[in-house]
Amino acid sequence: MAMNRRDTFKLAGISAAGVVLPRVASADEKQTEVKKTNGRSVVIIGAGFAGLAMAKTLRKKDNTLDVMVIEKNSIFMACPFSNTLLGGLEGVSLDTFVGDYYQPSEKYGYTFMHGEVTAINREARTVTTTKGVLAYDILVLSPGIAYDYTKQFPKWSAQKVREVAQACPAALMPGNEHIALKRQLNNMDDGNVVIIPPAKGKYRCPPAPYERTAMVANFMKNEGIKGKVIVLDTRAGKFAKGKAFKESWEDLFPDIIEYKGLTEIIDIDTAAKTLRYKAFENADDTVGTEQTVKYEVCNFMPINKCSPVIKMAGIKTDDAGYALMDGYSFRSKTDSNIYVCGDAVTHALPPSAQTAIWSAHRAAGQILDQINRKVNDPRAGLPAKAANVCYSMVGGKPEEAIMVTHTFFADPNGVLRGKGHVPKPQDGNGKFRSKSAAQAARAWFRGVMRELFT
């Protein structure tokens, strides 16, 4: 395969490799002076799926690397599989989703720092955090996503955004929002749950809103709550695993789930618990009719953008802030000492935990080759078959799931791309969903948690 000079990345200032003793940063540690790097220092921003997979992989492959992970959350929580908590599936509790950052950092010998990154200086190769300033030789950005309420509702004040974010938790980012949404469901009386997928653009885990629809319906059915799960979408039924979701909704929850595919949210009144939206007849209807719906629980997922950490680095991005990549690699297009992994990239890959881990594995290989001055071919091993496998739980009694697999390949247009396939399983009796897929979903989740923590 052809390789050019850009594939032979060079790292300035590499010194003789000394074994660096790992340490765990104490919670209140203040770093007053910037510790010098030794040419083998990798700083990773964000301890999500990409960041933790990256730290472990680097240290497993080369324990002479000085690896530091910075994370603003004090506890790890997984988003994948979290819809099953809303669905009330057996044996699922908050414990299922949480992890202790110090477990893998102690085992693999990297440093975990609990702090928030506030600035990045590419010239000085330093990262400023709430715990002090750190120097790096290689910087990995794996900060995930952010919400863009303002793009969707330019007239909303900051106060209104805060109110809606709290009252109608999006639950696309790990942490409190999932717990708030679960509490609201547990406390609800009879009435409607309204689910609003992000209106447009790239967003985290495209099947997640539709899996959530099935799981909330499952919860309402089992709890005997009278009401509907109303999905107010913009996609006219054309969404991830669309046919498979619709088939299972119609078979399992025909009286509960109401999907409205051509809508536009106008406003949410969190005090009255009402939502105004426009419903369009078809793609040619540009006027629509205004409707109001009363809700008990509203899960409003705003348009997504990339985490602001990418902009802090001052590297080139697309309009939504996702990092532009150097060819098929996971290196930034702007700076050869910066790598980007997980949801924050502009490769046309599905933004998923499995993709985040895959990207971290590939980027770790690229980083090691750069540090060791070896040639790296970012197309090696492509196409990667079933590089992403994503399950969605669609039923609770019995548990049944659907799935999609993606092959990742080097698109001639210069990016990595995923091609999806939604199979019908052998034990599905001609349907997309099956019990074996549900078992595989549970096994898959245990596997990715093992990947990060053990």
Q: Phi, psi (5° rounding) for residue 151?
A: -65, -40
Closer by beta carbon to ligand FAD, 80 or else 302: 80
How far, in Å, CA of 94 to CA of 186, rounded? 14
| Nearest-approach distance from CB 428 to ligand FAD, in angstroms | 19
| Member of 71, 137, 148, 177 binding ligand FAD (CB under 6 A) | 71
Under rule CB under 6 A, residue 49 binds ligand FAD:
yes
Window 335-364: residues binding ligand FAD (CB under 6 A): 342-344, 351-354, 356
Under rule CB under 6 A, residue 48 binds ligand FAD:
yes
| Nearest-approach distance from CB 421 to ligand FAD, in angstroms | 16
How far, in Å, CA of 69 to CA of 52, rounded? 8
How far, in Å, CA of 139 to CA of 89, rounded? 40
| Member of 23, 107, 116, 336 binding ligand FAD (CB under 6 A) | 116
Under rule CB under 6 A, residue 55 binds ligand FAD:
no
Closer by beta carbon to ligand FAD, 134 or else 232: 134
Window 189-208: residues binding ligand FAD (CB under 6 A): 204-205, 208
Using DSSP's 3-state secondary structure scheme, residue 222 falls into helix
| Member of 25, 42, 46, 105 binding ligand FAD (CB under 6 A) | 46
Tell me if 298 sits within 8 A of 180, measured CB to CB.
Answer: no
Pairing relation of β-strands 229-232 and 193-196?
Answer: parallel
How far, in Å, CA of 323 to CA of 308, rounded? 11
How far, in Å, CA of 313 to CA of 21, rounded? 28
End-to-end CA distance of the chain: 36
Window 213-272: residues binding ligand FAD (CB under 6 A): none
How far, in Å, CA of 367 to CA of 331, rounded? 9
Under rule CB under 6 A, residue 80 binds ligand FAD:
yes
Window 269-328: residues binding ligand FAD (CB under 6 A): 307, 309
Q: Which stretch binds ligand FAD (CB under 6 A): 77-85, 97-105, 133-141, 156-164?
A: 77-85
| Member of 31, 38, 63, 73 binding ligand FAD (CB under 6 A) | 73
Closer by beta carbon to ligand FAD, 138 or else 357: 357
Tell me if 109 sits within 8 A of 22, measured CB to CB.
Answer: yes
Dihedral of CA atoms 421, 77, 202, 298 in degrees, nearest 10, equals 100
| Nearest-approach distance from CB 358 to ligand FAD, in angstroms | 10
How far, in Å, CA of 453 to CA of 36, rounded? 29
For CA atoms 232, 237, 238, 242, the dihedral sign is positive
Closer by beta carbon to ligand FAD, 174 or else 418: 174
| Nearest-approach distance from CB 256 to ligand FAD, in angstroms | 19
* Amino acid type, 63: N
b/e string for 36-52 if b means 16 or more Cβ within 10 A? ebbbbbbbbbbbbbbbb
For ligand FAD, how many residues bind (rule: CB under 6 A)?
A: 37
Closer by beta carbon to ligand FAD, 72 or else 151: 72
Window 404-443: residues binding ligand FAD (CB under 6 A): none
How far, in Å, CA of 48 to CA of 452, rounded? 9
Contacts to ligand FAD by CB under 6 A: 45-51, 70-73, 79-80, 82-83, 116-117, 142-144, 172, 174, 204-205, 208, 307, 309, 342-344, 351-354, 356, 390-391
